């Protein structure tokens, strides 16, 4: 595997790194992560197509771009990969609203299915998709046998629209599946939140998709405010400091759910992921040191079964973590870099949802407020 990285910033392109003997003409996969309005104004696709004529080019908007041990805003970070022993195949689905997400997941999995399929990367629209249903369909259609990871595109902290494109200028409503094929590909996963839980676990008694109406016998927002105490006056902004832990079933691993909006009139809370009726939830609170430590733990988990340092690490973290950590955001990227060492190429972005197995031996899930890491190497 040979890798090259370039960056668009301040209206010009510049080379960041390029491994010896890397060939632009032979690159099979290009990942371009960029700020949404920058992608709209500058349309990087024609330039990237000319530079990488044979590659599958995936472009998506972000809430921050990750390169090396730094976090960038208002840039486009491009990572081009020339595999030596791995084949790449891509597929694209358009959706108009979240109800089409399960079917989209089925189609993507079927289009990529093959005996030598080693892994699937998903880069999805972050505004229209029901990420939970998308991943559920991917898991079922692949019989839970294929590692799946990726993320939902972001739009800084605006939450207006997100853009994704495959071999074209990115647009709304796109979901991209990237299949990686061959027995020589080694892939690792790690995901960790680092949030502290408090209070008892309670049942979701009324909800619709990602809108939570009641927890137990109380209106969701009223109960939430009780637990926030003095922080309740700072809503909705304070919600980023207090996400919810959710278990869909009694034997399910807990997932973190970010609160996107509250409705004072209806006493409801809207989340960046499905909150099904019957699920069990607990309140969580931010601990800055634990958030940074979680990134290190995710990195360690992602290389647990690797014999050498990974050649590429894809970091996808939540916009909520970025907004909470503020000036300390780069610390969680630096924590991952410290685990991998300088020989690993790092790229990634801040997202509206992270896709990864919770553990190396677990099936894929949709996460919020986590740092998720996918590591890649070829034998």
10: CB partners within 8 A, 6+ apart: none
Query: What's the pLDDT at 271?
Result: 87
**Mean pLDDT of the region 60-75:** 96
126: CB partners within 8 A, 6+ apart: 152, 153, 154, 155, 162, 351, 352, 353
Contact 3, 52 (CB under 8 A): no
> What does the pLDDT look like over 216-240, one tens digit per residue?
999 999 999 998 888 888 887 788 8
**Mean pLDDT of the region 74-100:** 96
**Mean pLDDT of the region 362-376:** 87
Closest to 123 measured CA to CA, from 179, 74, 82:
179
Q: What is the DSSP string of 174-221?
A: EEEEEEEE-TTEEEEEEEE--PEEEEEEEEEEEEETTEEEEETTEEHH
Give the helix/strand (H/E) hosting 30.
strand 29-35
**Mean pLDDT of the region 368-375:** 93
Closest to 64 measured CA to CA, from 304, 266, 240, 324:
324
Token pair, residue 59, equals: 């472009």
Query: What's the pLDDT at 286?
Result: 87
Q: What are phi and psi of 54, to 5 degrees?
A: -105, 0
197: burial class by Cβ within 10 Å (0-12, 13-18, 19+)?
middle
Q: What are phi and psi of 157, to 5 degrees?
A: -105, 20
> What does the pLDDT look like over 136-152, one tens digit per residue?
999 999 998 999 999 99
pLDDT band at 254 (very low <50, low <70, confident <90, very high): confident
Please report, rounded to a whole number, the percentage of residues in the chain having pLDDT higher than 70. 99
Query: What's the pLDDT at 360?
Result: 61
Distance CA 309, CA 311 (A): 7
**Mean pLDDT of the region 170-192:** 96
Q: Long-range contact list for 361-364, CB < 8 A, 24+ apart?
A: 362/253, 363/139, 363/144, 364/135, 364/138, 364/139, 364/147, 364/148, 364/149
**Residue 206 pLDDT > 90:** yes
Token pair, residue 323, equals: 């907004």
pLDDT band at 94 (very low <50, low <70, confident <90, very high): very high
343: burial class by Cβ within 10 Å (0-12, 13-18, 19+)?
exposed
pLDDT band at 157 (very low <50, low <70, confident <90, very high): confident
In the chain, what's the furthest Cα-to-Cα distance? 64
Distance CA 181, CA 178 (A): 10
pLDDT band at 61 (very low <50, low <70, confident <90, very high): very high
> What does the pLDDT look like over 336-360, one tens digit per residue?
999 999 999 999 999 999 999 876 6
For the chain, which residues make up each domain, given as ranges? 2-192+290-378, 196-285
Distance CA 9, CA 182 (A): 36
pLDDT band at 73 (very low <50, low <70, confident <90, very high): very high
**Residue 362 pLDDT > 80:** no
Closest to 129 measured CA to CA, from 210, 58, 233:
210
**Mean pLDDT of the region 75-87:** 97
Query: What's the pLDDT at 44?
Result: 97
pLDDT band at 39 (very low <50, low <70, confident <90, very high): very high
Strand ranges (E), 286-360: 312-318, 345-351, 353-357
User: Taking the CB of residue 158, how many other CB atoms lie within 10 A of it?
Assistant: 12
Beta-bridge partner residues of 82: 2
Distance CA 328, CA 63 (A): 16
Token pair, residue 218, equals: 């109380």
Distance CA 24, CA 51 (A): 6
Closest to 159 measured CA to CA, from 24, 320, 370, 301:
320
């Amino acid at each position: 595997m040979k890798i090259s990285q370039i960056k668009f910033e301040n209206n010009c392109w510049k080379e960041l790194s390029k491994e010896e003997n890397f060939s632009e003409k032979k690159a099979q996969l290009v990942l371009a992560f960029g700020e949404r309005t920058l992608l709209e104004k500058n349309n990087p696709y024609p330039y990237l197509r000319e530079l990488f004529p044979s590659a599958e080019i995936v472009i998506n908007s972000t809430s921050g771009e990750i390169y090396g041990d730094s976090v960038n805003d208002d840039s486009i970070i491009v990572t081009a990969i020339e595999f030596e022993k791995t084949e790449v195949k891509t597929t694209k689905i358009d959706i108009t609203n979240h109800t089409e997400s399960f079917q989209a997941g089925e189609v993507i999995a079927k289009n990529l299915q093959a005996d030598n399929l080693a892994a699937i990367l998903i880069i999805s629209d972050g505004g229209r998709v029901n990420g939970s249903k998308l991943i559920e369909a991917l898991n079922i259609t692949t019989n839970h046998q294929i590692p799946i990871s990726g993320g939902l595109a972001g739009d800084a902290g605006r939450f207006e629209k997100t853009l994704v494109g495959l071999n074209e200028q990115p647009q709304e409503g796109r979901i991209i599946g990237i299949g990686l094929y061959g027995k020589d590909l080694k892939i690792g996963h790690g995901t960790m939140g680092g949030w502290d839980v408090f209070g008892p676990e309670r049942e979701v008694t009324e909800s619709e998709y990602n809108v939570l109406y009641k927890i137990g016998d109380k209106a969701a927002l009223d109960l939430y405010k009780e637990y926030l105490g003095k922080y309740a006056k700072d809503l909705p902004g304070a919600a980023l400091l207090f996400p919810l832990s959710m278990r869909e079933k009694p034997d399910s691993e807990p997932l973190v759910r970010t609160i996107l909006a509250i409705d004072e009139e209806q006493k409801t809370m809207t989340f960046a992921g499905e909150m099904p009726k019957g699920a069990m939830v607990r309140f969580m609170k931010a601990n800055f040191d634990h958030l940074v430590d979680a990134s290190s733990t995710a990195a360690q988990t992602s290389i647990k079964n690797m014999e050498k340092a990974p050649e590429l690490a894809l970091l996808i973290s939540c916009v909520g973590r970025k907004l909470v950590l503020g000036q300390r955001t780069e610390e969680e990227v630096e924590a991952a870099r410290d685990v991998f060492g300088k020989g690993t190429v790092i790229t990634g972005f801040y997202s509206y949802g992270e896709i990864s197995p919770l553990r190396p031996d677990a099936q894929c899930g949709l996460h919020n407020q986590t740092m998720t890491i996918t590591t890649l190497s070829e034998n």
